[in-house]
Amino acid sequence: MQKLPVGIQTFSKIREKNYLYVDKTEDIFNLIENGEIYFLSRPRRFGKSLLVSTLETLFSAKKELFKDLYIYDKWDWDKKYPVIKIDFGSMAYKNSEQLEDSLFDFLNKTSKKFKIELISKTLPQRFGELIENINEKFKQKVVILIDEYDKPIIDHITNFKIAEDNRKTLNNFFQSLKANDEFLEFIFITGISKFSSTSIFSGLNNPKDITLSKNYAKICGYTHRELEDYFKEHIENLANEEPLNYEETIAKIEYWYNGYTWDGKNKVYNPFSTLLLFDECEFSNYWFNSGTPTFLIETLKKENNLQPIIEPIFATKNDLDTFKIENIHPTTLLFQTGYLTIKEKNKKHGSIEYILDIPNYEVRESLINELIMTYTNLSDSHLKELKNKTYTSILNKDSKGFIEVLESIYHRLSYPLKGDDEKYYHGSFLVALYLLGIDSQGEVTTYSGRADTIFKLKDKTIITEIKYSSTKSTKTIIKEAFKQIKEKKYYTRYKDENPIYLALAFSKNDIDCEFREKL
């Protein structure tokens, strides 16, 4: 089996040492042929740095490293461009002064590399001088590659002053790009957040944002076809370890790690998790455990809202583009950091609407468990006790026992799911099910309506209707819930699955429920 490039983000090292490389050079070729200034947003550990490294190697005309790849016989190898690669992941930026020092150090180091002397004293002028002098010395336009441009901001997102000061320093630094456009051949910028709202590159000449472009939806990550074409031997090896047959193994990999899409159609596997899966021969939460940002959890706690991780949500293009340091919307944050992805893209009334959801099992289970354990602080033994009681009470149609479980959980979830309407109780019930390890579906479309929640226990399908009223008794609410299930025929597709009907009633000060096997 070909060696796996776990943790390797340098294209030349992968090719020279015969590590497995999934050929993305067709996308890269089309990118270069069709434009000059690009921005790409992708979550952390999704192959952005390898993409930047590949571009650096290509523009440096290292032909031998591209043998047998798509671009090999299509590129003009006689042209060698000077490349300035700026990697903010390798810089110091605990405050704007340190960031500015790091940028000065970078410019000095780069000038020595190209054997050029710089005399300008300020950052933008010094950067511009570097670009112009390189162009003049080599008689060739310069390529600028910027990796993780937003790291000095993202890593201080909970400290507005530092984040904003760093943003201003970056904006000042990159002013040189527009002023020196005549000396530039190609600019490629990567990051997690969208730059359009942070004004860092406001001076650039209309950079093309390809984040949601269908033409480059597969430029990072592995498609299903690539998974089977490049990793066949590794899949067979994993199948022997599980043990599963080949088709079952493929299905399990897809369930765990596939599902990311930025155009609603082309799905890709998380490359970080996929490589570690084959390297370790064990299914696990690799990407999530590699460093879920603390600010993400803190922001969701601050917003008192777990709704975006409980059920699919609607979003506009503006929701996905907007990234304001001083006021981060949870949906935007979850999407740009990779915890939500586009499940559907629809055109309505001349505008585009997106449906967002968690991409796969790895992210869903990890994120929900992390958040709920943060909020509830339940011990493993207490959680196990609640799970056992849940299964027993539902299968025995024990309303009293099930209410005791719900009250125990709801008391702990009152902070992140604060509210006093039906939507609040829908959300809190779904969170409770997740916490108890029960896979459920919310707002399930049926023949004549939407069932609030449907989930399975053993061979039973539980069809649930949730009602809230501040004026009616819980007994009256329960009757109305069962009446709605019957009238809307939520049971139609589940007739052969021994359904149990569950009505959950909430009033201002009370919870009640009732199980029925017949309506």
Higher pLDDT: 317 or 253? It is 253
Residues 276 and 156 in one domain: no
DSSP state of 181: G
Q: Please check whether residue 168 lies inside any domain of the structure.
A: yes
Q: What is the pLDDT, as a whole number, of residue 262?
A: 95
pLDDT tens sequence across 146-178? 999 999 998 888 888 999 999 999 989 998 898
221 phi-psi bin (left φ>0, alpha ψ -120 to 50, beta other) = left
Beta bridge partners of 352: 347
Q: Give the strands of the sheet with 313-316, arranged side by side.
A: 313-316, 351-357, 341-348
Render 435-493 in DSSP notation, one character per residue. Answer: HTT--EEEEEEETTEEEEEEEEETTEEEEEEEEE-SSS-HHHHHHHHHHHHHHHTTTGG
* The pLDDT of residue 189 is above 80: yes
- Please determine, for residue 329, whether its predicted confidence score (pLDDT) is greater than 90: no
Residue 269 has what DSSP assignment?
B
Q: What is the pLDDT of residue 2?
A: 94
Which of 458, 459, 466, 397 is CA-nearest to residue 431?
A: 466
pLDDT score for 197:
46
| Pair (168, 270) in one structural domain | no
Same domain (yes/no): 207, 62: yes
Q: What is the CATH number of the domain that holds 168?
A: 3.40.50.300
**Mean pLDDT score, 256-278:** 97
Calculate what percentage of the chain has a pLDDT beyond 90: 59
E strand spans, 279-331: 313-316
In a domain, 327, yes or no: no
Above 70 in pLDDT, residue 442? Answer: no
Tally of residues, the chain: 519
- Whether residue 252 has pLDDT greater than 90: yes
Look at residue 482 in the predicted model and tell me its pLDDT: 94
pLDDT greater at residue 323 or residue 6 = 6
Residue ranges of alpha helices (H) inside 68-204 are 96-113, 123-138, 151-154, 160-173, 175-179
- Please check whether residue 303 lies inside any domain of the structure: no
Q: Does residue 42 lie in a domain region? A: yes
Tokens of 302: 């601050």
Which of the listed ranges 301-310, 326-335, 347-356 does the model predict with the highest average pLDDT? 347-356
Check whether residue 251 and residue 382 sit in a common domain.
no
Domain presence at residue 355: no
Q: Is 67 exposed, middle or buried (0-12, 13-18, 19+ CB in 10 A)?
A: exposed
Stretch 184-190: mean pLDDT? 96
Report pLDDT for 323. 67
CB 46 within 8 A of CB 338: yes
Whether 25 and 49 map to the same domain: the answer is yes
278 shares its domain with 407: no
pLDDT value at residue 111: 98
**pLDDT(48) > 50:** yes
Residues 165 and 117 in one domain: yes
Q: Are 112 and 240 in the same domain?
A: no
| C-beta of residue 68 within 8 angstroms of C-beta of residue 76 | no
Quick one: 161 and 254 in the same domain? no
Q: Which residue has the higher pLDDT, 82 or 381?
A: 82
Residues 402, 451, single domain; the answer is: yes
Q: What is the mean pLDDT of residues 470-499?
A: 87
CA 178 to chain centre: 31
- Given a cut of 80, whether residue 324 has pLDDT beyond it is no
Within-domain flag for 217: no
Q: What pLDDT, on the 0 to 100 scale, is given for residue 382?
A: 84
Range of 262's domain?
Answer: 224-284
* Span 387-425, pLDDT tens digits: 899 999 998 999 999 999 988 887 776 544 555 667 777
Task: Out of 211, 241, 261, pick the residue that ends a domain.
Answer: 211
Nearest residue to 462 via CA among 436, 494, 430, 423 = 494
Q: Considering 284, 310, 327, which residue would you say is the last residue of a domain?
A: 284
Tell me how far apart the alpha carbons of residues 452 and 274 are, in angstroms, rounded to a whole number: 34
Residue 443 pLDDT exceeds 70: no
The closest of 50, 62, 268, 55 to 148, measured between CA atoms, is 50
19: phi > 0 → left, psi -120 to 50 → alpha, else beta; which?
beta
- Residue that the structure tokens 């590129």 belong to: 75
pLDDT of residue 213: 95
| Mean pLDDT, the chain, whole residue set | 88
**In this structure, are 403 and 381 located in the same domain?**
yes
What's the confidence (pLDDT) of residue 449? 65
Same domain, 207 and 123: yes
Confidence grade of residue 93 (pLDDT, cut at 50, 70, 90) = very high
Residue ending a domain, choose from 284, 316, 336: 284
Return contacts of 110-118, CB within 8 angstroms, 24+ apart: 110/84, 114/82, 114/138
pLDDT at 307: 67
In this structure, the number of other CB atoms found within 10 A of the CB of residue 117 comes to 8
More confident residue, 491 or 4: 4
pTM of the full predicted structure?
0.83
Distance CA 402, CA 360 (A): 29
Highest mean pLDDT (candidates 57-61, 165-169, 362-366) = 57-61
CA distance 441 to 429: 11
d(CA 106, CA 127): 10
Q: How far apart are alpha carbons 177 and 433 in whole angstroms?
A: 52
Q: How confident is the model at residue 199 (pLDDT cuts 50, 70, 90)?
A: low
Number of domains present in the structure of the chain: 3
Within a domain: residue 58? yes
